[in-house]
Amino acid sequence: MKKALILATLMVLPLYLWATPITRKQDIDDFLKTTTYVVLDDNAMTEWNFKIQEAVEKFWAITPYKFITRKEFDTLKNDMDKSFLVRLQFRWPKDKIKATYNFMCLVLGAAVDKPTDMPEICSIPLGYESANQMSWGYKLAGFLRFIQAHVRRLQENPSLISSDPLDFYNKNIRAIGDHEIWVVRTDLAPDIRSLEQLRKNYSGVIRVVKPEDIEKAINEKNEHVIYLHKVGPESSNLQARVYKVLLGAGDDNIYYFDYHMMSKSNGDGLLKKDLKRMSR
């Protein structure tokens, strides 16, 4: 993706190069004048279709919106007066790890051949291609709200457009202790899945919950909750990166980001060192 903002660019770059967007203030201004077309999967029964329609109808407020099919997207994507919220698959061409990711992308219409070349406003990695949609579907409302909150921050403070967004969001790590961290057990590395290990390695409040608990906290805008979004290879044998992001269920902020390469000593999930870093 040419201009992957915020969470997208971090997927291939070291932390200090997490976001190197070419997004312009004009792109933000243009987006705010558009109608956003939410692209549904051809298969009506996907988790994406169920959850994104529900989330958009409840929380999308930054532009007018319409739901369209993939076929309609192929026809309309070149219209510069439109924006699109679409799920795209992407493989980083220079990445040694041949992994394919699913992204939730907010893009502007443009006269380009490939959807991945469309000007991006914001993109969020949902998971590896092999991951079950159920592993991220319950968080879509939170991602949707974060995208809108991020756009508003850029609109209100255009200097953020040309800076590293991590410098802005990583300051929030100091406020993690003021919240409860909610995680799904399978998003933790195997060696810290016990309550004993969690309490031993993290000094604040961390709760192991069900996906529906996190979904409820997001829908209720629970200001006390920060939830984990983990992007990892899941049950595949891919020795790939594991990305960990903490987002606020109430304020739609990022509180923490890190990634590691999966190995025998570093499993597919939040690690002990993550907990210790958040305890500082």
132-179 pLDDT per residue, tens = 999 999 999 999 999 999 999 999 998 888 777 777 888 899 999 999
Q: Pick 280 or 190 by higher pLDDT.
A: 190
193-233 pLDDT per residue, tens = 999 999 999 999 999 999 999 999 999 999 999 999 999 98
Domains defined along the chain, listed by start = 9-162 (3.40.50), 165-279 (no CATH)
Burial 87-119 (b: 16+ CB within 10 A, else e): bbebebeeeeeebebbbbbbbbbeeeeebbebb
The pTM of the whole model exceeds 0.85: yes
Name the pairing type of β-strands 241-248 and 65-68.
unpaired
Q: What is the pLDDT of residue 161?
A: 82
53-93 pLDDT per residue, tens = 999 999 999 999 999 999 999 999 999 999 999 999 887 66
Q: Do the Cβ atoms of 232 and 128 come closer than 8 Å? A: yes
